[in-house]
Amino acid sequence: MKAIISAAELTSELAGATPPVLLDVRWQLGGPNLRPEYDKAHIPGAVFVDLDAELAGPAGARGRHPLPDTGAFGAAMRAAGVSADRDVVVYDGGLGWAAARAWWLLRFTGHPSVRVLDGGLEAWDGPLTSEVPAPVQGTFAPAPGALPLLDADGAAALARTGLLLDARAPERYRGDVEPIDPVAGHIPGAVSAPTTENVAESGRFLPTAELADRFRALGASGTSEVGVYCGSGVSGAHEVLALAVAGIPAALYVGSWSEWSQDGNRPVATGPDPQ
């Protein structure tokens, strides 16, 4: 199953006998909540999912967007109509980060068929509606562990033995600025790989071959393990998605810099180089 779907492909599947469950995950860092935008207009049949409330646990020592409680996440997905035997398509406003977080979390908890609308709502040229659907209760029972996951120690080790990619903006990686978290810099040994460079100006992913070339140039040789982190496990999920499009499996450090930077015992590197 592919990790992404085009607007044209989604149009065709929505008209089929068994259309995918459609989740609208519009979100922006720092708020406000984008439920009002969903209420104004969304793809027909789409159910709104709140990233902060349903795709993450409460902010704290584990980071700004730690893993949600498994039971609460499962209940939210079932209420949205998600079942393991029915395809799911997720989209957001166009950046792709929030949709990728939903994609990763569903895949991590065992859903076999989840795709992200490439380019998000900006790429959609079909009808929109303000009608809020009443989905049939789903049956999805999340079972965490279907995708690789890193904790802080695992991320530190992978930076030494494999390839750990930092998906944040270059200036945050270098430690020039830090607008959100308590300390500026990066995990020692991590390689700067801004997730924004995985997409074209349209917001759609670069062609598969170009993505593969990009990650190969960053050190993804195909023989070593690859991991990703970001600020709080959202844009990093988008990088994991880009790697999946390129055919490269990767682990996500969900706590990311928002967890790492809270621990005064963790080393911090600055500047343009990994070390």
Is residue 230 part of the annotated active site? The answer reads yes
Q: Where are the beta strands (DSSP E) in 129-231?
A: 149-150, 163-166, 191-192, 226-229
Closest CA to 26 of 8, 63, 52, 6: 52
Closest CA to 75 of 135, 13, 129, 141: 141
Q: φ, ψ for residue 252 (rounded to 5)?
A: -110, 130
Per the CB < 8 A criterion, the answer to whether 205 and 97 are in contact is no
Cα gap 90→102, rounded to integer Å: 7
Peptide bond into 66 cis (omega under 30): no
Cα gap 90→99, rounded to integer Å: 6
Give the dihedral of Cα atoms 177, 178, 183, 185; nearest 10 deg: -60
Residue count of the chain, please give it: 275
**From the candidates 167, 230, 241, 243, which is the catalytic residue?**
230
Query: Which residues are catalytic, by number?
Result: 230
